[in-house]
Structure 1
Amino acid sequence: MISKLDIKQSLVAGLLAGITSAVINAILFFIFHGAGVITDTIYPQPDKPMTIAPVIMASIVPSIIGSLVFFLFEKFTNNGYKIFSIVAIVLMVLSLFSPFTVIPGVTMGYSLVLCVMHIVVPLTLLYFIRRAKQTKGMKTSTTL
């Protein structure tokens, strides 16, 4: 029997992933900002240096949206996790190009740090969704 997550379980996984990835990315931000890799002289947004607020939002919001997308794959397909994993990894790889191409005057170090932050979010989301599915599978098998 295939155990599928309901909307609540998917959202909880997304929220946990968002909070966890926000904490990880905030730590990375402060470490690399303190080390001078992320500088206030490079502007990812027009006339605005990188701050912690967009880092946190860019970790939480995509995780919650991703968990909703996962729920839709889970609901309407037989291989929701597999399909979602493929889509998430493809989008993650595509997102790795943006720090190099979108930010004017960006340094290699700055771009690489942003790439690491881009990797944290989808991998954390995949981890929490998988964990939720395993937990649900264990509960389902014990109740049979």
Structure 2
Amino acid sequence: MSADIDPAGFGSGRIGSLTVLYDEGCPICRTAHRWLESRAQLVPLRFVPAGSETARECFPGLDHSATLRDLTVIADNGLVYVSDGAWLACLWALADYRGVAERLSTPSLLPAARRFIAAASAVRQSTRAEDYGDVCDDSCR
């Protein structure tokens, strides 16, 4: 992949920014949000809580309940990435991880990347209580 094409490699044009819809009620998602935000970005990442009023206003055509189940990334050119594609898009946006994203998206490594992302998602589902985001501010870490 180069800077002239989209993270999935479909050649739809230059991406100027990515909006990441993340589950703010999930400890793994909040940690990933902080980690991504702290890294040098080649493509700016904007973080919006999934299912929030802001997300609904910015992206009225999305299934917002689905964005709470799977990480969703929307490019400024309208492309939508979900699940493993969304994780790879986030890595692709980072200065020090673009090469990793490109390698993980190759046919030989993509199946392993998908298994890893699915495992992380399963852990996320098992650690997320319905009221977690309402009662925890992560100060216990």
Q: Say yes or no: TM over 0.5.
A: no
Higher gyration radius (CA): 1
The structure with the greater share of residues assigned to strand is: 2
TM-score by length of 2: 0.30
The structure with the greater share of residues assigned to helix is: 1
TM-score by length of 1: 0.30
If asked which structure has higher relative contact order (CA below 8 Å, sep 6+), I would say 1
